[in-house]
């Protein structure tokens, strides 16, 4: 652990290196690890600083990994935690790019979080799964028109306990969903979204609480997420999450 840095960031950094490997090939490009999604994963990946690599990043190294992604016809994207790799942001800016900055938040282990009865984990073969994934896409697009989405390899990951998908309901109507990817004792909450017509009724909070509870039921003691905006971060803070850093995302094909 780096002196003076929150030790949870080191666990998160190890997690970030581990998660894509379940469904991705890996290529080392200078000081970066480039994750290349396997067929039918349903995701696209990115480059990250090589785990444990340290050192000072340069503009040339940033350009090299972006050029390699372009050669492979994969998204030109880099993700990192600013507090873990502080020399990367100046290098990215020196290469002429400005990343997005997202609050990185952790749920303290001593905060009790109970599942919300409106939101429950889905089973891998459940028909609701495709609709839940579609509701997330609709929510991020700001649309109420929900189209079922192919789960890809998600059912396989759910069977292995490597993915949890939670959906919130109003009666029998699905109102939003989100996921978590447990790896050992660490899990990130990802893709929590509610279509506009269902917002303002607590479904996002219900999904988040139930995801935390489901992860903890699997033995996870470090649950974290990166918020899409400060406004979203405020919602998570009200649930009990606390800030530990800044997640940087450069996506030139976004």
Residue pLDDT, tens place only, 28-42: 999 999 999 987 776
Report the CATH number that the domain containing residue 135 is assigned in CATH: 3.40.630.30
Q: What would the pLDDT profile of 102-120 be if each residue is shown by its tens digit?
A: 999 999 999 999 999 999 9
Q: Give the SS3 label for residue 102.
A: strand
- Distances in Å between the Cα of 247 and the Cα atoms of 101, 154, 172 are 6, 24, 36
Nearest Cα residue to 8 out of 71, 83, 59, 94: 83
Looking at the structure, tell me whether residues 30 and 96 fall in a common domain: yes
- 77 within a domain of the structure (yes/no): yes
Same domain, 216 and 162: yes
- pLDDT value for 1: 45
- Asked which of 59, 79, 103 is the last residue of a domain, the reply is 103
Identify each DSSP E strand in 71-185 by its residue range.
77-81, 100-107, 119-121, 164-170, 173-183
Euclidean distance between CA atoms 57 and 250, whole angstroms? 15
Q: Answer yes or no: is 145 within a domain.
A: yes
Structural domain of 37:
7-103
Does some domain include residue 216? yes
pLDDT tops 90 at residue 136:
yes
Tally of structural domains, the chain:
2
Helix (H) or strand (E) holding 223: strand 222-226
Model confidence, pTM: 0.92
Say yes or no: 77 and 24 in one domain: yes
DSSP 8-state symbol, 25:
E
């Amino acid at each position: 652990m780096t002196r003076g840095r929150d030790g949870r960031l080191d666990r998160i950094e190890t997690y970030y290196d581990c998660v894509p490997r379940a469904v991705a090939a890996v290529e080392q490009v200078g000081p970066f690890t480039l994750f290349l999604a396997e067929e039918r994963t349903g995701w696209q990946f990115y480059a990250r600083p090589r785990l444990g690599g340290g050192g000072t990043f340069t503009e040339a190294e940033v350009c090299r990994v972006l050029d390699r992604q372009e050669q492979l016809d994969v998204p030109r994207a880099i993700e990192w935690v600013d507090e873990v790799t502080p020399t990367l942001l100046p290098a990215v800016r020196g290469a002429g790019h400005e990343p997005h900055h997202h609050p990185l938040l952790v749920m303290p282990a001593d905060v009790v979080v109970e599942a919300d009865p409106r939101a429950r984990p889905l089973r891998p073969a459940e028909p609701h799964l495709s609709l839940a994934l579609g509701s997330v896409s609709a929510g991020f697009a700001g649309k109420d028109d929900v189209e079922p989405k192919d789960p890809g390899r998600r059912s396989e990951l759910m069977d292995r306990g490597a993915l949890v998908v939670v959906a919130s309901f109003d009666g029998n109507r699905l109102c939003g969903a989100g996921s978590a990817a447990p790896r050992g004792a660490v899990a990130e909450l990802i893709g929590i979204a509610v279509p506009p017509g269902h917002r303002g009724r607590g479904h996002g909070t219900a999904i988040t609480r139930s995801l935390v509870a489901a992860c903890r039921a699997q033995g996870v003691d470090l649950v974290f997420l990166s918020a899409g905006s400060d406004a979203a971060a405020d919602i998570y803070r009200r649930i009990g999450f606390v800030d530990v850093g800044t997640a940087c995302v450069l996506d030139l094909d976004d």
